[in-house]
A and B are shown apart, each in its own frame.
Chain A
């Protein structure tokens, strides 16, 4: 290597995330980080290949974008198709069945992320031995915690099964409603485990809170930065994962827009394309691409909502706000705590729904005036999810646009990667442990790269080190075999 040239570090694939991505870090001749980028290298094209398909097929087809939270796509598409058939005012049974499905999914997805993907970093340290820094390492050292994670995930998936027909890729939501109610025989086994799940959810929030509080000083500098935040909120400002209007706040907590009707999202959100990633870069139109980028997901939701309508989660939210000093939290690693507050909220909502007799109702579908275009938004576990469709008079889809949560978090993840790379890699000998710090920052967002590029993918991070002339100097690759 010439003394004057820089280096490029590549992490490929990024591990313990859903999908296939890589990170490139450009170092100058002195070994200082010039630039870091998080690339998503999958390509899927769902928006194109559902064109021409009948609209009622879409909620079942598009959920194949993802195996972790397909329910989000299933419900977002179903909500859009509700409007297409004029059935957006669902019957109580239909709306509650869908909400139960959604909270079940949030519960299982958040449990999966915390226990299976994030906990090895949090329990063992970001730079700890790579041979034990995985879910099997957690199972060996903390068997009760690992078991709890698995059983919590199973519980959420059981809820999906009884509402959608299958644990993964079911068919429960149909245009204008649902195709089943909840039988008492399906409900009772869930009720029997409810208390245990709530206790575990409370213990998990406590773990995430205590981790954040114990590391609050160091986490303040770990990939953290002020940002705008976007989330759905209910009419009264409460956290609502299934429905509501769009709210955007700035880094000081000031409202940028509020209660925006999902049908008008294009007036408020735009997308930018960059040549080095298959993932687009959304931004708030009024602020432009440079200043209009925003975060979504648990951190944004807890920051943006006025309150949470379930008591245990609301008490946690208040502590969260207090730690952040009454302003939106800027800590990338506070995503974990926020996510676990939502886990607790989800089980509280599940509790209320399982006790609601409307779920045994038999009025399942409504229809009204047919429309040709519809937008729907849900809060997926990873953040705000937009589905936009046009359907012609023959019932065939002519246009689809999906903005998934990971896409909205694209710029924040890139900033987190750059910040962490500058803090930990600058002028250092690059080691696996240091590179994992970059992955930890990405993982906090719980990105789903398969969803973000709408792609068939293997699971794998790729970090490249390139010199100032762009020559590859070093590369660390992890594939799906680890």
Chain B
């Protein structure tokens, strides 16, 4: 019996039942841009960067299961424009100053901006007033750069088994907080937590190691984001 397939951008690709569109595409060598998705974590579908059209319906490919004969459009001008707009909105909604950010060259948001050809956002910068929580001896949260992907929340809960982080507030006041107290130092966070490495941007950081990798050797200096995933 032949494997079940979906039609992905006109190409027939196989999938394993239970796989999402994003997973099936990646196994077939087609990388779909994403930010809140991280292998090993439950799909969350909050950033909407991985948006595709499945049987004519716009869905997040990291959460939507592949099904037999499903026709998926991914690399179309309107979907690319939509994805680009979402990433632009993330840039202007926070305070992302790549020029002095230690995550520059390691940052998935920045790398996605480059990959999608965003040279300068067309939208108005919001310049929100946000705080830096540097109270913990070894870890800090810079809320200016948080994109609310919740990867730290999910990693702490599902992989570290600690529930250090939580999402609080609504609408524009929504933010990541240390769940056990108001400050990170009171939260039980530890520098060895896997959650510290889960952040795709420069929001959750190990202290005192910034800029230790020289320009040229940073992950996205040589190859665009997504290259490693499809080369597996």
For the complex formed, measure the closest distance between the CB of A258 and the CB atoms of chain B, giving whole angstroms.
Answer: 36
Interface flags for A39-53 (1: CB within 8 Å of B; 0: not) read 000000000000011
Are A60 and B134 neighbours in the complex by a CB distance under 8 Å?
no
From A52, A164, A175, A179, B132 is in contact (CB under 8 Å) with A52
Q: Find the B residue at minimum CB distance from A85.
A: B208
**Contacts A54-B207, A56-B208: A394 and B134 contacting too (C-beta < 8 A)?**
yes
Please tell me if A37 contacts chain B, counting CB pairs below 8 Å. no
Whether A56 contacts B134 by the Cβ 8 Å rule is: no
Interface status of A304 (Cβ within 8 A of chain B): no
| A165→B216 contact, CB < 8 A | yes
* Chain B residues whose C-beta falls within 8 Å of the C-beta of A59 in the assembled complex: 211
B106 to nearest A CB, angstroms? 12
Asked if A179 and B212 make an inter-chain contact with CB atoms under 8 angstroms apart, the answer reads yes
A237 interfacial by beta-carbon distance below 8 Å: no
Q: Given A64-B100, A169-B99, A396-B134, do A174 and B211 touch, yes or no (CB 8 Å)?
A: yes
A166 in the interface (beta carbon within 8 A): yes
* Nearest CB in chain B: distance from A20 CB, A: 21
Contacts of B197 in A (CB 8 A): none
What residues of A have a CB within 8 angstroms of the CB of B210 in the complex?
54, 56-57, 174
A336 to chain B, nearest CB (A): 33
Q: Is B58 interfacial (CB 8 A cutoff)?
A: no
Residues of the A chain whose Cβ atoms lie less than 8 Å from the Cβ of B215: 164-166, 170-171
Give the contact-size bracket for chain A.
20 to 34
CB pair A57 B140 closer than 8 Å: no
Determine the chain B residues whose CB is within 8 A of the CB of A179 once the complex forms: 211-214
Which chain B residue lies CB-closest to A60?
A: B100
Chain B interface, number of residues (Cβ within 8 angstroms): 18
B102 within 8 A of partner (CB): yes
- How long is the Cα–Cα vector from A61 to B215 in the complex, in angstroms? 15
Closest residue of chain A to B210, judged by CB?
A: A56
Assess whether A171 is in contact with B208, with CB atoms less than 8 Å apart: no
Q: Is B55 an interface residue (CB 8 A)?
A: no
Bound-state CA distance A355–B158 (Å) is 54
- A contact residues around B101 at 8 Å (CB): 57
Q: Name the contact of A396 in the complex, choosing from B99, B132, B213 (C-beta under 8 A).
A: B132
Interface assignment of B135: CB less than 8 Å from any CB of chain A:
yes
The reply to whether the CB of A180 lies closer than 8 angstroms to some CB of chain B is: yes
Inter-chain contacts of A165 with B (CB < 8 A): 214-216
Q: Bound complex: CA of A311 vs CA of B209, how far in Å?
A: 41
A444–chain B nearest beta-carbon distance, Å: 32
Q: How far is the CA of A170 from the CA of B212 in the complex (A)?
A: 12
Chain B residues, CB < 8 A from A169? 99
Please give the distance in Å from A179's CB to the nearest CB on chain B: 5
Residue of B nearest to A365 (CB): B212
Within 8 A of A (CB), among B124-149: 132, 134-135, 140
Chain B residues lying within 8 Å of A170, measured Cβ to Cβ, are 215
Question: How many angstroms from the CA of A53 to the CA of B102 in the assembled complex?
Answer: 12
- Tell me the smallest distance from the CB of B108 to a CB of chain A, in Å: 19
Q: Does B134 lie within 8 Å of A54, measured CB to CB?
A: yes
Contacting A at CB under 8 A, from B167-224, are: 207-216
Distance A323 CA – B215 CA, assembled complex (angstroms)? 46
A60: which B residues are within 8 A, CB to CB?
99-100, 102, 211
With a cutoff of 8 Å between Cβ atoms, the chain B residues found around residue A180 in the complex are 214
B213 / chain A contacts, CB cutoff of 8 Å: 179
Q: Would you call B135 and A394 a contact (CB within 8 A)?
A: yes
Q: Does A322 sit within 8 A of B, measured CB to CB?
A: no
Q: Please measure, in the bound complex, the distance between the C-alpha atom of A425 and the C-alpha atom of B102, giving whole angstroms.
A: 52
Bound complex: CA A170 to CA B105 (Å): 12
CB distance from B138 to the nearest CB of A (A): 10
Contact, CB under 8 Å: B211 / A171: yes
Chain B residues with Cβ below 8 Å from A174 are 210-212
Shortest C-beta distance, A416 to chain B (Å), equals: 35
- Judge whether A156 is part of the interface by a CB distance below 8 angstroms: no
Cβ contact within 8 Å between A54 and B140: yes
The CA of A56 and the CA of B101, in the complex, are separated in Å by 10
Q: For residue A309, give the distance in angstroms from its CB to the closest CB of chain B.
A: 30
A297 within 8 A of B: no
Q: How far is the CB of B178 from chain A (nearest CB, A)?
A: 14
A395 in contact (CB, < 8 A): yes
Let me know if A172 is at the binding interface, CB within 8 A.
yes
Within 8 A of B (CB), among A143-184: 164-166, 169-172, 174-175, 179-180
29 contacts between A and B (CB under 8 A): A52-B132, A54-B132, A54-B134, A54-B210, A56-B210, A56-B211, A57-B100, A57-B102, A57-B210, A60-B100, A61-B99, A61-B100, A85-B208, A165-B215, A165-B216, A171-B211, A174-B210, A174-B211, A175-B208, A179-B211, A179-B212, A179-B213, A179-B214, A180-B214, A394-B134, A394-B135, A395-B208, A396-B132, A396-B134
Which positions in B face A, CB cutoff 8 Å?
99-102, 132, 134-135, 140, 207-216
3 A-B pairs closest in CB distance: A165-B215, A61-B100, A180-B214
